[in-house]
Structure formats: C-alpha cells, structure tokens
C-alpha cells in the first residue's frame, strides 16, 4: 500500500478572509486516502474573527503560541521553535506556507533544521505596495528573494501578483504556479431578511464593503465615495461587512449618514448579505484575487473596484463590472452609472456570474494542488 503524502500547511492566523477560505477548501477537499494533512496556525487578534470558529469548526488544527499578526521578537522566536518541533514530529513530504509571516518563519524553520520536505509558498497577495515604508519594503523583498531560492514551488493567486514579484526579483518564472481561489457559494435566499431586519427599503440601492477594515483596503476612500453617493442619491444604503483596526475611524467618518451606513461585523451568512446587495465596492490600494468579488459575481452582482492586483482577472471593465483608478471621484462616477442604470447593472451582473462561476471553482483549486503534491 502506497504511503500517504504528508502535507504540513502553515498560516500565522486563520482570520476571516481569502487565505483562510482557500486553506479550508484544501483541508476539506484533498482526498484523505492519498493525503495526510496537518494545519498549523496561531491566534487571531481581538478585532478579528477566526474563520475556523465561524465557518469550519470541524477542521482540526494545531495552534502554537507566538504565532499571529504582530511582529514581536519574543513571540516570533517562540513560534519558530514551536514550528521546528512540529516539523520534526510530523516529518512532512511538503511544507506549504501561506501568507507572509508564515512563509518566513515556516520556510526558515525547515531550512535551518535541514528538513527534506519540499517547500511551497502561496502568495495570496504581496506586501510590495500599501503596507510598509520604502525601507521595510526593501527588507521584505530581500527576505522573499532569499527564501524563494530554497523553495520548490511558488504559488500565486493571480498573474499580476506573480508579475509584481518577478519584477521585484522574487523567484523565477519556472517556479511559479498560478492557482486562482476556489469558491463555493450556497443558494441565494429568495426572501430578503437583511433588508427587512435593517429597515432598508426594497427600492433602495445597497452598496456593500466586504472585508477587513484595514489600511490597505482604504476605508477612508470608501467613506469619501459613500458620502458623495449618499448626497447624490438619498435612497442609497451601505453595508459594511467585516471588521478591523480602522472600524471606529470609519464609523466616525460615516457618522453623518449613520442611519444608512450599517456596520454588520463578520458574518457567516454571506448569501444573505449578497441577496441584499446591488453593488460590491472595493477601494483597495492592493489586492491579490479578492474572494469578495468572486462571491459577488457568483451571485450575479457587479463589482466596482480600483484596478489593482489581479482584480482585472476577475472583472472585465465595462463587461462584468467597473474598474477605476484610485481617485474617489472616478469611483463615484462609475458607481453613479450603475445606480441610475439598473439595466446595465443587471447585464454586468449576469456576465459576472457566467464568467466567474466557470473560472473559480473549488474543484480546480483542489486539482491544481494535487498536481503540485504528486509531481
């Protein structure tokens, strides 16, 4: 009998978002007769929700102390030695790290202990834009260059993310595999519970922000656009779904329209949220391949987004959504077109559903990872 292929999957924290969703799909989807998977993660911060607790409590994981979002010399050393212990114990064939911190600590631990495991790292996005000062960004690039030299495979969620990394000197073309996110969406309910519960008129236009309320997502830009839209279109409401360190600031910025700006926190009923949504709005400085836009498209909802990262691989401008510059006025202009032209909104939504459902299935996510692990 052929021994199982052992995959050690490492991520610093399983906070609600695209990486946690993809990891959960892999943990559930890879054939347990062929693969023996182990998930190592840390702990979310107080203003974050743990995806495993919210949406996937059946997935087993090993949580280690010191792992998390913040950089701390003491805690990072603790996490490093815990990772060394877990690698020795599990003896994996593949060590697959996800997101930046886990990629640094996990691959470094494997290299320094001379693990025979093949090293794989997934870039669900990158830290080249919108996160750090120029000096820190150069340091991040240097570390990623060195680790890429010892990695067998580098996975990117989109071509733009890969191209940005290659332009920065991270990895080689032949190391990269493009694997888009795989998303399952449940049936969209027929009754609009969200609108009813939040006292939103059926005739209103609802614009939704879905994701972390953090710097790179530019909630300040969202606020500028929302205020302008509310002034031009009094029957427009805003759903802010998610949380983060800038939530209170965003609430303050939207205080003048507070009855029409609904902060819902993290939710595990995305289908209900999408049923109440007319337009998804992304105002980020940087994105990988945003799962929120994929989910919206699968529900037949058009997205208006800044043209960053690999968003253009999900949304075709003017065909399945609207892509804009980072200028709030341009974002507002494109939103206005969809608010006033419901027929256009419907056409874009229908095309988004057709295109996205075809290209972002969980089955292709599983198949492409199986190909890496069995090569």
- Tell me the average pLDDT across 160-189: 92
| Per-residue pLDDT, 128 | 66
The pLDDT confidence band at residue 129, using thresholds 50, 70 and 90, is low
Q: Tell me the C-alpha distance between 194 and 85, whole Å.
A: 47
pTM (2 d.p.):
0.81
**Rounded mean pLDDT of the chain?**
93
| Per-residue pLDDT, 132 | 61
**pLDDT surpasses 90 at 225:** yes
Element (H, E) at 206: strand 205-210
CATH of domain 193-359: 3.40.50.2000
| Per-residue pLDDT, 83 | 95
**pLDDT surpasses 90 at 35:** yes
The percentage of the chain sitting over the pLDDT mark of 90, rounded to a whole number, equals 78
| Per-residue pLDDT, 67 | 87
- Tell me the average pLDDT across 177-187: 92
Q: Tell me the C-alpha distance between 135 and 131, whole Å.
A: 11
Ranges of each domain in the chain: 5-182+362-373, 193-359
Contact 323, 311 (CB under 8 A): yes
Tokens 């969809």 appear where? 338
- Does the fold of domain 193-359 match that of domain 5-182+362-373? yes
* Higher per-residue confidence, 130 vs 241: 241
Is the domain spanning 5-182+362-373 CATH 3.40.50.2000? The answer is: yes
The pLDDT confidence band at residue 47, using thresholds 50, 70 and 90, is confident
| Per-residue pLDDT, 338 | 97
* DSSP conformation letters of 42-80: ----TTS-BHHHHH-TTS--EE-TT-SSS--HHHHHHHH
Q: Tell me the C-alpha distance between 58 and 266, whole Å.
A: 19
**pLDDT surpasses 60 at 81:** yes
């Amino acid at each position: 009998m052929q021994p199982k292929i052992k995959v050690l999957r490492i991520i610093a924290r399983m906070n609600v978002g695209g990486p946690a969703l993809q990891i959960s799909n892999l943990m559930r989807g890879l054939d347990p007769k062929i693969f023996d998977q182990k998930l190592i993660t840390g702990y979310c911060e107080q203003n974050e929700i743990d995806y495993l607790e919210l949406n996937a409590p059946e997935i087993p994981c090993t949580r280690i102390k010191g792992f998390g979002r913040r950089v701390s010399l003491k805690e990072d050393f603790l996490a490093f030695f815990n990772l060394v212990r877990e690698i020795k114990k599990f003896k994996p064939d593949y060590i697959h790290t996800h997101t930046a911190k886990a990629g640094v600590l996990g691959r470094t631990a494997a290299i320094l202990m001379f693990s025979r495991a093949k090293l794989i790292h997934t870039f669900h996005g990158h830290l080249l834009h919108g996160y750090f000062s120029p000096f820190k960004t150069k340091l991040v690039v240097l570390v990623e260059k060195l680790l890429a030299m010892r990695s067998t495979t580098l996975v990117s969620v989109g071509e733009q993310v890969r191209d940005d990394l290659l332009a920065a000197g991270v990895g080689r073309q032949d190391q990269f595999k493009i694997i888009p996110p795989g998303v399952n969406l449940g049936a969209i309910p027929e009754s609009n519970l969200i609108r009813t519960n939040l006292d939103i008129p059926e005739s209103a236009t609802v614009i939704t922000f879905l994701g972390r309320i953090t710097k790179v997502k530019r909630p300040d830009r969202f606020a500028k656009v929302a205020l302008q839209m509310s002034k031009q279109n009094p029957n427009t409401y805003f759903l802010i779904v998610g949380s983060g360190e800038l939530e209170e600031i965003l609430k303050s910025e939207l205080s003048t329209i507070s009855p029409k700006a609904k902060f819902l926190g993290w939710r595990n009923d995305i289908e209900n949220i999408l049923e109440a949504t007319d337009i998804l709005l992304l105002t980020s400085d940087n994105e990988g391949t945003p799962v929120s836009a994929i989910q919206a498209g699968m529900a037949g909802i058009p997205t208006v987004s800044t043209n960053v990262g690999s968003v253009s691989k999900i949304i075709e401008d003017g065909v399945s959504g609207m892509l804009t510059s980072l200028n709030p006025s341009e974002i507002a202009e494109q939103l206005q077109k969809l608010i006033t032209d419901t027929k256009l909104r419907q056409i874009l939504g229908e095309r988004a559903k057709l295109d996205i459902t075809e290209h972002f299935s969980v089955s292709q996510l599983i198949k492409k990872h199986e190909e890496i692990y069995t090569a």
